[in-house]
Amino acid sequence: MADDCIFCRIAAGEVPCTRVYEDDTCLAFMDIGPLADGHTLLISKKHYEFIHEMPADEAAHLGRQIPALARAVQEAMGADGLNVLQNNGHVSGQAVGHVHFHFIPRVPGDGLGYRWPARESDTETLKKQADAIRQRLGT
C-alpha cells in the first residue's frame, strides 16, 4: 500500500466509498466526481501505478471482471453505450497513480466528447513500429 495513494486507502477501508463489487484482489466503487450517472471505477487492491507493472495473473484477474461490470453499469443506467478506459501516465489523463478502469455510461447528447483525430501512416512506418513492439515483446 502506498500511504499517499487515495485508492490504496479506499481499498484498505481507511477512506469510505460506495462499493459495487469486491473480491480478494479488486474493488469496484462509484466515482465521487462522475462524468456521468453510474461512473464506476475498478481498481486493483495492490498498488501498481501502471498496468505494465502488474504481474500477468493479477492483470488477468482484473480484466476478467470487466465484461460483467461493463454490462451491469450500462444496463443499470439505461445507457446506450459505455466507455471503458484505462490511462497510464499523466500525459494520458491518469489523475490517480494507481491502476484503475473507468466505466462511463453514455447516452446521445450527454456532452461527453471522446474523438481522437486519426492520422495517416504508410505501410513502411507501420512495419517499423510493429517490429519495435514485437522486439520488446520478445516475439
Residue 1 has a CB neighbour count (10 Å cut-off) of 13
Active site members? 100
Beta-carbon contacts of residue 35 (< 8 Å; ≥ 6 apart): 102, 104, 112
Beta pairing, strands 40-44 & 81-85: unpaired
Cell of 21: 463489487
Q: Give the angle 49-90-74 at the CA atoms, nearest 5°.
A: 75
